[in-house]
Amino acid sequence: MAYMHWRAELEVGHGQIDREHQSLVEVLNRLHAAMKQGKGREEIEKVLVFLKDYTVGHFRAEEALMMTHAYPEAAAHIAIHADLIRQVKDLIADHQSGKALLTASVLEFLEDWLVKHIMGEDKAFGAFLKSKGITA
């Protein structure tokens, strides 16, 4: 499986959101590298936890913007965020307990999720912000 590359197609048109998405891609690649280098369970867990924390922060920032600008699709978008966080927490718990280790398919799931969410819900939100003249 290849490393994930940031591409212009992923831009939603809001500076802060786009920067945070780029960072998310970087963290996913860090996870990829840790796996590829055969790092131990603890090392991989550290990156996973960092990914979760960064994602929580990013979702909060997006959700705060939704509230500030009275985004009509906020409830559905927030529910999707909560669902991903729950899944990542489960992944970490399984990893910690040794029940399941991080595999290429898990990483693929995370990458697919991120791309699908950015291209779908986040772009729709970006378009909404743009319609209000908010791009940074």
In the complex, which residues of this chain contact Fe ion (CB under 5 A)? Answer: 62, 122
Q: Measured from the CB of residue 19, what is the shortest distance to Fe ion in angstroms?
A: 11
CA distance 17 to 21: 6
Using the minimum distance from each CB to Fe ion, give the nearer residue, 93 or 120.
120
Using the minimum distance from each CB to Fe ion, give the nearer residue, 4 or 35.
4
Q: Measured from the CB of residue 25, what is the shortest distance to Fe ion in angstroms?
A: 11
Residue 104's nearest CA partner among 57, 41, 46, 36 is: 36
Interior/surface letters 98-121, b for 16+ CB within 10 angstroms, e for the rest: eeeebeeebbeebbeebbebbeeb
Q: Measured from the CB of residue 2, what is the shortest distance to Fe ion in angstroms?
A: 22
Using the minimum distance from each CB to Fe ion, give the nearer residue, 9 or 42.
9
